[in-house]
Structure 1
Amino acid sequence: MKRTPYFYLVLFVSKLVRFLLLKLGRNATNFPGELAIWLCRSFIGRMPKPEKVVCITGTNGKTTVANLVEDVLERTGADFYCNRNGSNVYSGVASLLISNSDWRGRPTKKLAVFELDERSSNLILPYMRPDIMLCTNIFRDSYKRNAHPEFILDFLNKYIPDGVPMVLNADDMMCSELKPGNPRAYFSIARQPSDGEGSRNIVQDVPACPRCGGELKWDFRRYHHIGRAACKDCGFSSPKAGYTAVGLTETDMEVDIGGESFRFPLANSAYINVYNSLAAVALLCELGLEPGKIAGALGSVGISATRYMEEEVNGRKAILHLAKGQNPVACSRAFQNIRDYPGKKAVILFLDDFFDAQHTVENVSWLYDADFEFLADGSVVQLIAAGARHWDVYLRLLLAGVPAERIDHMPGTGGAAEVLRPGEPDSVFILYDVYTIRLAEDTQRLVVERLKKEAAKNAD
């Protein structure tokens, strides 16, 4: 798009506003871009772009994958910028372009990595063509935004430009069909001993062939619609992947890349985190990095503390675990991770939607798409539901088969740590929504203090 004098005026004003916000101690990750787009709707399209643009999207895992990619690029000396500490919607992308350009709008670095909210693709991708794009998966999400995954698939198909090379999840039959005419590379986890043919989840968004609606024959279904299958009618099947994790341990994965085997470290061996690490490896390889360099850089990288963090006290743990309230698939993954975690567990649930609690009424029907049944396992010795919707969560836990004597619930969040039963759990999980990380961190500190007091008392 042509750059007019008015565009340069908007750029100058936005940069000045960003400068003033930073002087005032604000982070300036969203407002300068929001202002620029308000003043000039085509601002992103007119703004000069770096030589190479990488975009990462998907329902779940895009932030973790973006963080892994950015960490590896940083450790391998790449000259790039990213929206790691900012918004993944159109205003955040505009702010990032503003902050990484000179006063004439020329980019200061040659590579940009953007995490993109899938619902913002219509406001970004028509004006910024990626050189490569990764999609982690396509699931149903919040009923307010992305409850129908086929809607999201259609949305992305409409706005991702033709010809953009794609990196896609071969084990997701919706994700693997994204932009079918574009060049593509796939990643996959080979069948593991724990995989079976039947889904253990309430939500199954691919009950039939995505192409013809015929019956699917599953080789295995790992969770929800993640797995490998073929259509009995039209022959459509899960695609063969060029990046396949063939062996998994607690600490690493063996990946077949074009017939050659490489080992990459894992920060966490839960399937969702294996997929995230594998997606990052595939994208980095497609960018031209050597697998050995990627493996070396990943060795010093962990999961973002805003997604998962453990703190140990005398052999017991207080664990922060993102659950993404109103997202039944993300919550189900968290619940299964807790069930599979060794030892006895207590779980504090902060699942209320932050903005709904402030301004409106929350739709709780998503609770019945989430697999709370995982929390009925005998290893989960206590569940604490805290927040305005504590009665709804309490009812859902009862319907999931959790004995009432294991459940505590309360309208306030401040006292959740205080009702922990002393001595019972080996680990305390704190599950929280994206926007309640500060509440979760404060609660983790209180849990750690409580565990320390118990340890000191037992030592006496």
Structure 2
Amino acid sequence: MRLCLSAAVIGGKISSMISKLAGGRGSSLPGVVARRIYPHTLRRLSAQGNRGIIMVTGTNGKTTTNNMIAGILQAGGHRVIYNQEGANLITGVTACFIRFSTLTGRVNFDYASLEVDEASFPKVVKEVRPEIVVVTNFFRDQLDRYGELDKTVQVVKQALKELKDVTLVLNADDPLVAQLGQATGHNAVYYGLAKQEGMERTVAQTRESRFCPRCGEELQYNYYHYSQLGDYSCTRCGFKRPRPDVEGTGVSTTIDGLRARVCCAGDCYTIAVQTAGFYNLYNALAAFAVGRLLNIELATIQSGLERYKPAIGRMERFRYRGKPVFLNLVKNPTGYNEGLATLLSLPGSKDVFLALNDNAADGRDISWLWDVDFEILTRHLEDLQSFTCSGTRAEEMALRLKYAGVPTGKITVIPSLENAITAALQGEARTAYLFATYTALWPSQNILCRLAEKEEHHAVGMPSVS
């Protein structure tokens, strides 16, 4: 048995080297190879931890939340294994442990913090038993991969029900997530955002869940933060937003990041993260909740969050001849809407680059693009200098902007990513903002690294699917 594990690890490490020599990332292939050699590789490696396993699943924010949690744990002096590149299928999770393993299959770690794809979650928890599971949110995402949203929620719910001795960290503001506490019977810690006075949400959101997940009655909202996230209640069965154990308030945003007050157990603290985007505060609150659950000191949690380094495409920052440049991954309507909100919140004029691919990792079906509120852009055209569309479906992206009301004189179609990015960078606006789907993200980041300067907070890697 030990020889089988050793052979699997060695095979995985060799495949990783070959992948990197061929220009790949080696983030999933080692897991594929190892599991074929010895199917119990993940089970055996993950069982060697000293303290426990934390898993993060959900639609948006998995990579950011998981990396924030790992940063907090590392700031506390713990040895941490985590799939920082976001390879979150069962093969990627296996590859993560192989990376930290000796050739004989020994792994020395205190915690493993693992981002896990929603559809892969049931498979992973059959081999890796978590003590804590974080669920970020549920939104429609690549219907050709995941199916309808209700199916995704049910898959995660059923897998959670089969777990024992687990604590859930749940987004109180998402009714699809908050229901999991009572539905599974597990102990749950909730995090959320209080009503933010003076922070108007400019993007008209698609509400993923209008109805009560328990009885089907239409939910009533006191306020929304975005999409279905907010303060909700059901007048028929009494289901409502749980009172958060960790709650953010007093949010302020700048071009450099976010700052907020976080209240927990009657005390309030200040946290800061070096990444823009209102939605990223939810990720920070989830990580904060995990830190408190593990009895990590407040100062350590604050330090871990402040040192967070964005993954590629998670509001990654560059400078081009002194001009701020942002790179943002987009993959579904809710994420795109929040990206647009962040774009419009930045001061001054902007040149916008939009890359749309329809490869397997992106999702072949691009109809979700019509659920994105590009119409909001027409209210701010004086600050939006140009729109450069690129990728395999560049023409469809341009057509969507035209139907949204963006003047055709501001829209340019340039299929070549490099030429399109160069055009966006050389625009006359104060800031360049780049949107890219999965398979356009790596090439776009590589081009930016050649043409522009990476800012101080270097991004960690990310594979084509996360």
TM-score normalised by L of structure 1? 0.87
Residues of 2 paired with 1:202 and 1:104: CA distance?
51
Residues of 2 paired with 1:269 and 1:22: CA distance?
33
Residues of 2 paired with 1:140 and 1:338: CA distance?
22
SS of the residue corresponding to residue 97 of structure 2 reads helix
SS of the residue corresponding to residue 145 of structure 1 reads helix
Residues of 1 paired with 2:444 and 2:283: CA distance?
23
Q: CA deviation at 1:364?
A: 2.2
What residue is the counterpart of 1:275 in the other structure? 282
Q: CA deviation at 1:105?
A: 4.1
Q: CA deviation at 1:217?
A: 1.7
Aligned-partner residue type, residue 408 of structure 1: T
Match of 2:269 among 258, 262, 273: 262
For each residue in 1:130-167, what CA deviation from the matched residue of structure 2 results, as whole angstroms up to 9, or x when unmatched? Answer: 01111111111112223522211100111121441000
What residue is the counterpart of 1:316 in the other structure? 323
Alignment of 1:181-260 (within 5 A): 181-194=185-198, 200-250=203-253, 251-260=258-267
In structure 1, list runs of 5 or more residues that go unmatched: 450-460
What residue is the counterpart of 1:57 in the other structure? 57
What residue is the counterpart of 1:33 in the other structure? 31
Contact 1:11–1:103 (CA under 8 A) maintained in structure 2? no
SS of the residue corresponding to residue 297 of structure 1 reads helix
Aligned-partner residue type, residue 385 of structure 1: C
Between Structure 1 and Structure 2, whose CA radius of gyration is higher?
Answer: 1
Q: Does 1:400 align with 2:404?
A: yes
What residue is the counterpart of 2:89 in the other structure? 89
Residues of 2 paired with 1:234 and 1:279: CA distance?
28
Residues of 2 paired with 1:68 and 1:56: CA distance?
11
SS of the residue corresponding to residue 95 of structure 2 reads helix
Alignment of 1:318-397 (within 5 A): 318-324=325-331, 327-355=332-360, 362-376=364-378, 377-378=380-381, 379-397=383-401
Q: Which has the higher contact order (CA 8 A, sep 6+)?
A: 2
Aligned-partner residue type, residue 189 of structure 2: A
Aligned-partner residue type, residue 282 of structure 2: Y
Q: Does 1:12 align with 2:14?
A: no
SS of the residue corresponding to residue 232 of structure 2 reads strand
Contact 2:57–2:136 (CA under 8 A) maintained in structure 1? yes
Q: Does 1:432 align with 2:430?
A: no
Residues of 1 paired with 2:420 and 2:377: CA distance?
18
Report percent identity of matched pairs. Answer: 27
What residue is the counterpart of 1:112 in the other structure? 112
Residues of 2 paired with 1:46 and 1:318: CA distance?
44
Q: Does 1:150 align with 2:150?
A: yes
Q: CA deviation at 1:171?
A: 0.6
What residue is the counterpart of 1:453 in the other structure? none
Residues of 1 paired with 2:202 and 2:425: CA distance?
34
Aligned-partner residue type, residue 275 of structure 2: N
Q: CA deviation at 1:16?
A: 2.1
Aligned-partner residue type, residue 249 of structure 2: V
Greater alpha carbon shift after TM alignment, 77-86 vs 153-162 = 77-86
Q: CA deviation at 1:240?
A: 0.3
For each residue in 1:186-207, what CA deviation from the matched residue of structure 2 results, as whole angstroms up to 9, or x when unmatched? Answer: 11110012467x9953521111
Q: Does 1:174 align with 2:176?
A: yes
Residues of 2 paired with 1:199 and 1:162: CA distance?
42
CA gap 1:364/1:190 in 2 versus in 1, 3 angstroms:
same
Q: CA deviation at 1:237?
A: 0.5
CA gap 1:199/1:225 in 2 versus in 1, 3 angstroms:
farther
Contact 1:138–1:174 (CA under 8 A) maintained in structure 2? yes
Residues of 2 paired with 1:355 and 1:438: CA distance?
15
Aligned residues: 437
TM-score normalised by L of structure 2? 0.86
Contact 2:391–2:440 (CA under 8 A) maintained in structure 1? no
Q: CA deviation at 1:20?
A: 3.0
SS of the residue corresponding to residue 98 of structure 2 reads helix
Q: CA deviation at 1:382?
A: 1.0
Q: CA deviation at 1:258?
A: 0.7
What residue is the counterpart of 1:135 in the other structure? 135
Contact 2:193–2:249 (CA under 8 A) maintained in structure 1? yes
For each residue in 1:290-328, what CA deviation from the matched residue of structure 2 results, as whole angstroms up to 9, or x when unmatched? Answer: 22221133233343344222233565322212223xx22
Aligned-partner residue type, residue 166 of structure 1: L
For each residue in 1:405-457, what CA deviation from the matched residue of structure 2 results, as whole angstroms up to 9, or x when unmatched? Answer: 111113332321354496631111111123333321244357649xxxxxxxx
